Amino acid sequence: MSSNAITIPGTQIQTRPWVDELHEWLTTVDHKRLGILYILSALLFLVIGGVEALVMRIQLMHAHNNFVSPEVFNRMFTMHGTTMIFFVAMPVLFGFANYLVPLMIGARDMAFPRLNAFSFWLSFLGGLLLYFSFLGGSGLYGAGSAPDVGWWSYAPLGARAFSPGHSSDYWTLALLVSGFGSIGTAINIIATIVSLRCPGMKISRMPLLVWLNLVMAGMVLIAITPLSAAQIMLLIDRYLGGHFFDTQAGGSAVLWMHFFWIFGHPEVYVLIIPCFAFMSEIIPVFSRKPIFGYPVMVGATVCIAFVSMSVWAHHMFTIGMNSYANSFFTLTTMAVGVPTGIKIFNWIGTMWGGKIQFKTPMLFSIGFLFQFLIAGLTGIMLACSPFDWQLSLSYFVVAHFHYVIVGGILFALFAAFYYWYPKMTGRMLSERLGKWHFWLFLIGFHLTFDVMHIPGVLGMPRRIYTYEPGRGWDTLNLIISIGAFIQAIAILVFVANLIISYFKGARAANDPWDAWTLEWSISSPPPAYNFATVPTVSSRRPLWDLKHPEDPDSRYE
Amino acid sequence: MSAVTTSFPNTAAGWQLPSRGKVAMAGLIIAESAIFTIFVVAYLFYLGKSLTGPTPREVLETPIFYTICLLSSSLTIHFAAKFLARGIGFAFLGFWLLTIALGGLFLYGTAEEWHRLIYAHGLTISTNLFGTTYYSLVGLHGFHVTAGLIMLLTVAVLGLCGRVGMKQSGHIEVLSMYWHFVDAVWVVVFTVVYVLGR
Amino acid sequence: MSMLKIKSSTLRFLARTILLLFWSAMAVWASEPNGSSSHGTNIFAPSSTPAKSIADLSIFVLVITGIIFVVVFALLFYSVVRFRGRAMDAGREPAQVYGSTQIELAWTIIPILIVVVLFLATARVIHAIQDAPEPVGAVQVTAIGHQYWWEFRYPKLGIVTANELHIPVSDPSHPTPTFLQLLSADTDHSFWVPELGGKTDLIPNHPNRMWMDPQRTGVFLGQCAQYCGMQHAKMLLRVSVDGPEDFAAWVRAQQSLAVEDAAAIAGRRVFETNACMNCHAVAGTPADGRFGPDLTHLMSRATIAAGAAKNTHDNLRLWIQDPSAIKPGSLMPAMKLSDGDLDAVVSYMETLR
């Protein structure tokens, strides 16, 4: 399947030797291929991270279970969290950004194609580094084993004294390396959007996906870097005898927490904002109306980006900050819920008065709206610091953030897959399998993550490899585990859909969804050069203008 | 299904966007500033908190001369870029090499200071909190100076081979943005370590 | 085709509504307090003022977020059902509405007001709990977190014990709250007994403070909530809230030196010659190690290994023989005692009432 071939009906194209094809993929600097590489590597790590989750869920099915040892369980939750955030969520979102941003702005490629390739391979190398740590466990002498310090590696647990060997180092290096890859991609995205827009595409005319990826990239620059800095400090502590987080030498464990969460909180907005972008492209198309309140959607996102840099210590409500600090972070955390809530209203406003088509992308989008609403509300509960003094570090928090990440981000990603897969591959995904995927996943998701709030309220802390019977947690954990397996089956259906449709799916035309942004004006899949002539646009929906010359958007903007 | 023709109205005249090199370098500078900020915060936070060992007041000597070297290298690189934009290759090369010399002098100054601190005062990165934060912050900056010097040297070699002309003016400007950033960071580090910290 | 679409969406929302009702019922069921004297770990069954303030505020927050949920869900449900596309619509686009300043202003201002209300209600509780002054009659405890056990010291009473905390019940008219100072000997931990209060972390080089004034007697359970290493899961908490006489009796017993029982002399010799005293202390004997729990009144405790096992003869023997059989990763080494020595030491331990 070469995106360089011009399909002439009736002629036989000589297929190239697979080595050549592989070489081309490994050395590509084309944003479309790199986007697909990002997405494929994310899918690989998604399956691995999912297996890690299933191992944990089996262990927690009942009290005092012996499926895995505490060592293995502690490695599982560390690796699961690290993998999902850094090697699934970030790469897949960068992948979609890579693929779509140049197409949506009418550009030939990203601003720096070679930097693009370098950033991807750095990212992938980070993932390999992280997983290489497993080999050390019972294989190569002295190579260490998988990290077991939790994905935050709180000080002083991450110090040499408490984490001897090299497992923590693999964690640190993997994140440092992939962090530099992320910064490279972010710089690339910003330079592309600022410098390569086609004529007529003023900043106020960019599709929302482009706008939101610009905001996301800006946030990456100032959110990932604090983590990189903290990682360097940790390495200095572990290898050069430094004392950044050495409490015995007067160092501060709390300082690590501040640095980590100054990264950690904006990071979750880095993850959700591209998903807002998907929703802002998909919901209008399947409601047959433009997005309700484009300027406010942009404004709210920029607002979220700024305010989210001031909320980080809501992850630290229990560490003993004084009442003024706790009150401040309660206020800012609740405040960031306002622009976020506004966006939900705008999406509903987009659907209102429309003619909704319930294709699979829209099913997942509606699921996103429902679940993101709930996730946002449990977030408000956690923002209230006294409530958080009970709920923090418990399964309520685990339920909340999985609600955002799985119920929000993953649902939006599924919607994006079903929406743009035709553009990327030239084939439609099966609607039938799509609906099976949706319903199975929905049921499994709610079974697991709705119930998971309850053990938290009943006092079950997180990161425990087993628990005492008789606390009321047993049946709940069993139900949660069953839901996890249902979700796993749904993922298998999804992967089957991706593979089967690639070979047998209905051929996709340029514009199977009757959409309005530039990527739908070229073939599916696009030619290597994207646009034969550089497009010029005069409104936010250039294809709407072309399809409705009697009533163009340019008249109303 | 789309019956759309992809012939968009052609109004490309006058469409000017910022240069991608400058935008990218601005992005890099923002990211690097965030990293330096974290190290500066750690330095300030740990001032006066060392449990043992030499304090800043006891061992630090303000490196005025080497600071002047580094800051004037910003001036020289500015002139170099200006001359290149006007096509005066000889002046460009002269100022460029001067920049490298000044930057190299600064690095030498840092090395000299570290030698004194380690051997005369016994201050290393593992001595106490001051040692850790000092060497990390100044070292991080020195690393960026070194990386910059390597890039400047590369350009110098290309320039001496006659490969750098007016067409490369944009690239040179981007590189000089980086060098200005390195100098600006030194202003902050200098203030924090040698002025506030004592 | 469109019939299927109608079914799909309505089905989805019916399913969701049913789920909602089901889980609400579960939550209500789950929040019922446990009636026995051994209390549960339900944050909505508070027995102490801080826990109660938190529970009350939490209900308030739940009600407000519940109302928001109902309103927004209703809007979402309505829009999905009312504005679904029908087959006859093919080819005709609906009115292209770009926005509405008035509506958008309204749904900006209302959330801001809600945030202000929630914040003010929350700030009051934050100050009430965190800035509460320590009254004169308060019991003072210093809790020191270790991997994987709790050290409790009562500085004014001269008591050092481990894992099981005894505090007096507090009569609201003459409060005798317990104020804890929280320290750590190694890595981060968190003290969480849900029915007595919110959790506060124990962080090395960062002392913290919390208080509780339990108004019911009985045993309250909890455990470490901040991941502290391999056996974080088995660093359990057992707080015994005693009536005034019981508490006084307990204090007196804890203040006394270790019981001297001539029959256990052999075991005591094994204890003192086998490096046990490097880690453990027994008041009134040369053993004064601080790395492990104080064993002076070991038999006054219901559990061993920070709650990992009941304090029975067999468990004690197994624990001393091989701690990793009960708590793999515990920092207590297996001392590789002979059977005779092991039995002697266990007999000695059993005299430490």
Domain spans in chain A, listed from the N-terminal domain onward: 28-556
B24 contacts A188? CB cut-off 8 A: yes
- pLDDT score recorded for residue B115: 97
A-chain residues near B174 (CB < 8 A)? none
Q: What is the mean pLDDT of residues C28-32?
A: 51
Q: In which region does residue B141 sit, left (phi positive, over 0), alpha (psi from -120 to 50) or beta (all else)?
A: alpha
Calculate how close chain B gets to A142, using CA atoms only, in Å: 24
Amino acid at A166: H
Query: Which among B107, B81, B115 has a CA at the least distance from the CA of B96?
Result: B81
Residue B147 contacts A where some CB pair is shorter than 8 Å: no
Q: Select from B8, B129, B136 the Cβ nearest to the Cβ of A542.
A: B8
Split at pLDDT 50, 70, 90, the class of A453 is very high
Chain C segment 175-204 residues within 8 A of A by beta carbon are 182, 186-188, 190, 192, 194, 197-201, 203-204
Predicted-complex ipTM score: 0.94
pLDDT at C88: 73
Q: Given a cut of 50, is residue B1 above it in pLDDT?
A: no
Residue A6 has pLDDT above 60, yes or no: no
Which residues on chain B are in Cβ contact (under 8 Å) with A186?
27, 31
> In CATH terms, is domain C1-81+100-230 a member of 2.60.40.420?
yes
Q: Is C222 on the interface with A (CB under 8 A)?
A: yes
The answer to whether A414 and A364 have CB atoms below 8 angstroms apart is yes
Candidate from A21-30, A251-260, A371-380, C259-268 with smallest mean pLDDT = C259-268
The pLDDT score that the predictor gives to residue A145 is: 86
Start-end of H helices in A426-473: 431-451, 453-457
Q: Are B12 and A255 a contacting pair at CB < 8 A? A: no
Burial class of B44 by CB neighbour count within 10 A (0 to 12, 13 to 18, 19+): middle
As given in the structure block, the two tokens for residue A224 are 């990932």
**Contacts with B8 from chain A: Cβ below 8 Å:** 533, 535-537, 542, 546
Q: What is the mean pLDDT of residues A443-450?
A: 98
Q: Per the omega criterion (within 30 degrees of 0), is the bond before C148 cis?
A: yes
> C3-21: per-residue pLDDT in tens?
444 455 566 666 666 666 6
Dig out the tokens for C311 from the structure.
């304090």
Which tokens sit at C263? 């029959």
The verdict on a CB contact (< 8 Å) between C65 and A250 is no
Q: How many helices (H) and strands (E) does chain C have?
A: 8, 12
The whole-number average pLDDT for the span B37-44 is 98
Task: Scan for tokens 């790590």, then name that residue.
Answer: A45
Does pLDDT of C351 surpass 70? Answer: yes
Indicate the pLDDT class of residue C87, thresholds 50, 70 and 90: confident
**Separation of alpha carbons C143 and C152, rounded Å:** 5
Provide the 10 A C-beta neighbour count for residue A63: 14
Give the closest of C93, C182, C329 to A288, CB-based.
C93
Residue C182 predicted with pLDDT over 90: yes
CATH classification number, C262-349, choose in 1.10.1740.10, 1.10.630.10, 2.60.40.420, 3.40.50.920: 2.60.40.420
Quote the pLDDT of residue C33.
43
The minimum CA-CA distance between C309 and chain A, rounded to whole Å, is: 11
pLDDT of A267 above 80: yes
Task: Decide yes or no: CATH 1.20.210.10 for domain A28-556.
Answer: yes
Looking at residues A431-454, what average pLDDT do you find?
A: 98
Residues C90-119 have a mean pLDDT of 93
By C-alpha distance, the chain A residue nearest C12 is A439
Question: In whole angstroms, what is the distance from residue B102 CA to residue B93 CA?
Answer: 14
Token pair 């006058």: residue: B14
Using the 8-state DSSP alphabet, how is residue C352 labeled?
Answer: -
Choose among C285, C252, C256: nearest CA to C268: C285
Whole-angstrom distance, CA of residue C223 vs CA of residue C148: 11
pLDDT at A400 over 50: yes
Q: Residue A1: its pLDDT value, please?
A: 44
Residues in CB range of B86: below 8 A, 6 or more apart: none
pLDDT band, residue C36 (cuts 50/70/90):
very low
∠ CA A147-A150-A154, rounded to 5°: 105
The token pair that represents A333 in the structure block:
């955390």
Provide the shortest C-alpha distance from residue A399 to chain B (in Å).
31
- Rounded to an integer, the average pLDDT of A339-362 is 96
- What local confidence, expressed as pLDDT, does residue A138 receive? 46
- Higher-pLDDT residue of C335 and B134 is B134
Band of residue A557 on the pLDDT scale cut at 50, 70, 90: confident
> How much of chain A exceeds pLDDT 70, in percent?
96
What local confidence, expressed as pLDDT, does residue B3 receive? 41
Q: Tens digits of per-residue pLDDT, C37-75?
A: 578 999 999 999 999 999 999 999 999 999 999 999 999
- Kindly report the nearest CA distance between residue A15 and chain C, in angstroms: 40
pTM of the model: 0.94
What's the CATH number for B21-196?
A: 1.20.120.80
Q: Is the pLDDT of residue A338 over 90?
A: yes
Q: What is the pLDDT of residues C134-176, one digit of tens each?
A: 998 899 999 999 999 999 999 999 999 999 999 999 999 989 9
Per residue in B138-176, pLDDT tens?
Answer: 999 999 999 999 999 999 999 999 999 999 999 999 999
pLDDT of amino acid A451: 97
Cβ-defined contact of A514 to B2 (cutoff 8 Å): yes
How confident is the model over A324-329, as a mean pLDDT? 98
Alpha helices in A288-404 (DSSP H): 294-307, 323-351, 360-383, 385-391, 395-402
The per-residue pLDDT for C34 is: 41
Inter-chain contact C199–A390, Cβ cutoff 8 Å?
yes
Residue C90 has pLDDT above 90, yes or no: no
Question: Which pLDDT score, from 0 to 100, does residue B4 have?
Answer: 44
Pinpoint the residues of chain C covered by CATH 2.60.40.420. 1-81+100-230, 262-349
Phi, then psi, of A215 in degrees rounded to 5: -60, -45
List Cβ neighbours of A266 (8 Å cut-off, separation of 6 or more): A219, A222, A223, A305, A308, A309, A312
Residue carrying structure tokens 């909704």: A356
Give residue B197's pLDDT band: very low, low, confident or very high (50, 70, 90): confident
Q: What is the reported pLDDT for C253?
A: 96
What does the alpha-carbon distance between residue A539 and residue A284 come to, in Å, rounded to a whole number? Answer: 16
Cα–Cα distance for residue pair C187/A469, rounded to 1 Å: 27
Number of A/B CB contacts below 8 angstroms equals: 147
Q: With an 8 Å Cβ cutoff, are C69 and A373 in contact?
A: yes
Sheet containing C149-154: which strands, arranged edge to edge?
C159-162, C149-154, C139-146, C178-184, C208-212
DSSP H or E segment with residue B69 = helix B64-85
Q: Token pair of A376, please?
A: 């946002």
Put simply, the answer to whether A244 touches B133 (Cβ < 8 Å) is yes
pLDDT tens for A291-301 read 999 999 999 99
Mean pLDDT of A356-379: 97
Considering chain A, what is the average pLDDT of its residues? Answer: 95
**Closest alpha carbon to A277 in A211, A223, A336:** A211
